[in-house]
Structure 1
Amino acid sequence: MRILVRTSKLAIWARRLALFAAALILISTGLHFFGQITADVFEISLVIGTIFGAAAFLIGIVAYVVLWFTGDRGWGPASVGFILGLVCLAPAGTALALSEIYPSTADVTTALVDPPQLLEARPNHPDIDPETVLASFPNLITRAYQIPPDVLFLIGQSLARANGWEILAATEPTDTSIGQLNALRRSLLGFENEIAFRVSPNPIGALIDLRAASLTPVYHDLGDNGRAIEAFLLALDDRVSTHIQNNMAQTVPEEPPVPQSDLTPGQESDAQ
């Protein structure tokens, strides 16, 4: 007698749902990164993809149990549904973890009283506790450097361009006036943020303050803006230190050679 071995329908559906979820997440991420869909559409696509990924993951587990007892075929499709479904849950899990680790920095600045002005971003977010933000990002403080304001502005501008930010507007400072630069930064997933830094003259050199805000209103940016401007400030520290060291090396005068006629006979023999 020939025993009929069937392929589990649960395993087949687990694979189908997982493939659909993965395709939806990948395609929507690519379209959003290249600006073909809006942030709202992208977020809805992620939610739908996560739901289907979770369904594929759970159905894959049930298919494993059924296959163990029935002996049907379908271990391969069930594994695809289980593993790929778990992969599709990774973005949601990462977002959940980041929201627990970092406070929202949808609009964050080093100058709480008078932050730099924005050109395009219109942040709309709940009040953010500055102490909570500073606890997570201790480097988000006003910087004071012992270099001229125009030099500090040029260093910051070159760093912004090196980071791939799109310059929206730039006004250079002088010894008595304030300068500001506004730039557009695109995150890894394609979300746009505006970053502004302001350079002010200071008795000992220059001050710089930064502000970063999501271009579209978001409830929680997972600390993305905070990490971006904190990294900018740390890189700026290094560049300013290098600039000061290079200028100090160039300005140290060399000792002039002593004329031979000014040497005593004993000194002449030592010099020879």
Structure 2
Amino acid sequence: MRILIRTSKWAIWARRLASFAVPLAVIPVVLHRQQVITTEAFHTMALVALIVAGLSLFLSLGALVRLWITGDRGWDRAFGGLLLSLLCLAPFVYGFIEASRYPRVTDVSTTPDLKLALLAPAPSVDPTVDQAAIEAAFPNAHTRTYPLDAPRLYEVVNKLVNDWGWHVRLRQAPPTARGTGQIDAVVTTWLGWRDAVAIRVSTGAEGGVVDMRSASLTPSLSDLGANGKRIEEFLLALDSAVTTVLRNSVLAPAPQGAEGDTPPPVQGGRSDVVVPADRPADLRPPPPEPFDTEAPPQE
């Protein structure tokens, strides 16, 4: 007599829901990055993916327990559903951890008077946010002062922004050595959220001053620390870039034509300047014999 071994329905549905949760978690990210769907629609689809992945995880764990007890088939489906559900839930777990590490803020700046030209009006800062907590979470997000004038410092900042691949919306170079310049850009995160960034270059008592602000364009409870970390990483990279510029300016060779360098150019096809290296060793006559100071012999 042949014994029929059944396949666990829990394992079957766990694998099916996990396979459905994967496109629910991936496709909204692609569409959101390409600006095909709005951020509100992205949040709704991400919530649906979270629910489906959570249900698949529950069914996978239940299937593993039932398979151990009953001896039915479906271990591959149960483990497959468990792996796919954990893969879909990993970004949500990461976001929860980041949200617990950083203050619940969506606007971080080195100075409160820096405005965003991209936003009208600028997003209001939550009065309940503890500024001391923001400074403790992002200790390197503070105003920088460098021994460079504003135009030269603006060139360094502008090059760094281009290297980082931000979508610049406004470039305003300092008109004078003591003027003020600003760069406004939009930054897209890997999940498709968009943040506005403003960088101001001005002149202070000790040299060029750089202030920076980063704010989320979509209202939310938390930015997961993205804006504060962006300011810290950019300003640290700017420190290195300015250090390189100052070192290169110190080690740069002296301009030609200085004293001790190449001779002046020849005018009219000839030169009246004698190069010391081409001068004969000695053109003076030999010195005379020394006079005999001894008295002549007496006769």
TM-score for the superposition, normalised by structure 2:
0.82
Partners of 1:67 and 1:100 in 2: how far apart? 37
Task: Report the alpha carbon displacement of residue 4 of structure 1 after superposing the two structures with TM.
Answer: 1.0
Match of 2:32 in 1: 32
For the 8 Å contact 2:116–2:197, the answer to whether it is kept is: no
Q: Matched residue of 1:184: which SS?
A: strand
Aligned to 2:50: 50
Supply the distance in 2 between the matched residues of 1:243 and 1:76 (Cα, whole angstroms): 59
The equivalences for 1:17-166 within 5 A come to: 17-112=17-112, 114-120=113-119, 122-123=122-123, 126-127=126-127, 128-166=129-167
What's the CA shift for 1:161? 1.1
Q: Which moved more, 1:208-217 or 1:103-112?
A: 103-112
Aligned equivalents of 2:173 and 2:74: distance in 1?
A: 66
Identity %: 40
1:126 deviates by 3.1
Structure 1 contact 116–209 (Cα < 8 Å) conserved: no
Q: Give the equivalent residue in structure 2 for 1:267.
A: none
Higher helix share: 1
User: Equivalent residue for 2:214?
Assistant: 212
Per the alignment, residue 256 of structure 1 pairs with 260
Q: Give the drift of 1:252.
A: 5.8
Contact 1:200 1:207 in 2 (8 A): yes
Q: Which runs of 5+ in 2 are unaligned?
A: 262-275, 278-299
TM-score by length of 1: 0.89
Residue 179 (structure 1) aligned to one of 178, 181, 185: 181
- In structure 2, what is the Cα distance between the partners aligned to 1:110 and 1:92? 29
Give 1:251 deviation, angstroms. 6.2
Distance 1:126 1:10 in 2: 47
- Distance change in 2, residues 1:256/1:116 (3 Å): farther
Aligned to 1:268: none
Bigger Cα Rg: 2
What secondary structure sits across from 1:5 in the alignment?
Answer: coil
For residue 6 of structure 2, what is the aligned residue in structure 1? 6
3-state DSSP of counterpart to 1:193: strand
- The 3-state SS of whatever aligns with 2:195 is strand
Give the secondary-structure state (helix, strand or coil) at the position aligned to 1:111: coil
The aligned residue for residue 280 of structure 2 is: none
Which range moved further: 77-86 or 244-253? 244-253
**Cα pair 1:116 1:197 within 8 Å, conserved:** no
Which residue does 1:263 correspond to in 2? none
**Larger relative contact order (C-alpha < 8 A, sep ≥ 6)?**
1
Q: Which whole-Å CA distance do the structure 1 matches of 2:253 and 2:119 have between them?
A: 43
Q: How much is the aligned-residue C-alpha RMSD, in angstroms?
A: 2.1
Distance (whole Å) between structure 2 residues aligned to residue 57 and residue 69 of structure 1: 19
Change (3 A) 1:62 1:136: same
Alpha-carbon offset, residue 138 of structure 1: 0.8
The Cα of 1:151 is off from its aligned counterpart by: 0.8
Aligned-residue offset at 1:105: 4.2
Deviation for aligned residue 1:16: 0.9
Number of equivalences:
261
Q: Which amino acid aligns with 2:260?
A: P
Which position in structure 2 is the counterpart of 1:222?
224
Conservation of the 8 A alpha-carbon contact between 2:194 and 2:216? yes
How far, CA to CA, are the matches of 2:179 and 2:147 in structure 1?
A: 17
Inter-partner Cα distance in structure 2 for 1:232 and 1:104 = 21
CA distance in structure 1 between the partners assigned to 2:19 and 2:67 by the alignment: 21
C-alpha contact 1:15 1:77 (8 A) present in aligned 2: yes
| Match of residue 197 from structure 1 | 199
